Amino acid sequence: MPFPGNEEEDHFPHLPKIEFFIGFVIVIVQPGVPDEKVRAGQKKRMADLSELLQQGMRRRHLNAQALATRTGIRTPRIRVFAQDGASGPVHPTRAELAELAAALALPLPEVLAAARTPEAAPSP
């Protein structure tokens, strides 16, 4: 069906006429509501240290070098933490985890839990 005032000829007479409708879907995420659906009785999967650091760095628009400048931790160590987490060949100390949490504005207990480090553990 041609639009009113559109006197152009039909360039594709062999194709069916289709009118397009574009719809938008808006998703509202409320604070405090998990974005993953968790069934009753199941615990939400705890974030790994590497996921937590990558999300924090992305949110703050920081790369490993910028984070190293803010924290005083060497850049290669931050890269390893962001790639391998606490299970990699290089293990973060409690002091490093505290500095990373402060620089990325993350709660320290969440960072320690992601690194699977008890809060009462002394730093070497």
End-to-end CA distance of the chain: 76
Residues 102-109: what's their mean pLDDT? 93
Pair of tokens at residue 17: 């006429």
Q: Within a domain: residue 59?
A: yes
Number of domains observed in the structure of the chain: 1
Is the pLDDT score of 8 beyond 50?
yes
Q: Within a domain: residue 8?
A: no
- pLDDT bucket at 21, cuts 50 / 70 / 90: low
Domain with 83, as residue range(s), is 49-114
Nearest to 71 by CA among 111, 42, 34, 13: 111
Residues 82-90: what's their mean pLDDT? 87
Q: Within a domain: residue 3?
A: no
Q: To the nearest whole percent, how much of the chain has pLDDT over 70?
A: 57
Is the pLDDT score of 6 beyond 80?
no
The CATH number assigned to the domain holding 71 equals 1.10.260.40
Distance between CA atoms of 124 and 115, rounded to whole angstroms?
Answer: 16
Length of the chain: 124
Residue type, 18: I
Distance between CA atoms of 76 and 65, rounded to whole angstroms?
Answer: 9
Q: Within a domain: residue 105?
A: yes
Q: Within a domain: residue 40?
A: no
Pair of tokens at residue 82: 């962001």
Distance between CA atoms of 37 and 118, rounded to whole angstroms?
Answer: 28
Is the pLDDT score of 2 beyond 50?
yes
Q: Within a domain: residue 39?
A: no
Nearest to 121 by CA among 18, 112, 83, 54: 112
- Between 97-101, 102-106, 112-116, the lowest mean confidence (pLDDT) is in 112-116
> 6-12, long-range: CB within 8 Å, 24+ apart, which pairs?
none
Residues 56-84: what's their mean pLDDT? 93
- Between 63-72, 99-108, 115-124, the lowest mean confidence (pLDDT) is in 115-124
108 exposure class (CB count in 10 Å sphere: 0-12, 13-18, 19+): middle
- pLDDT bucket at 30, cuts 50 / 70 / 90: low
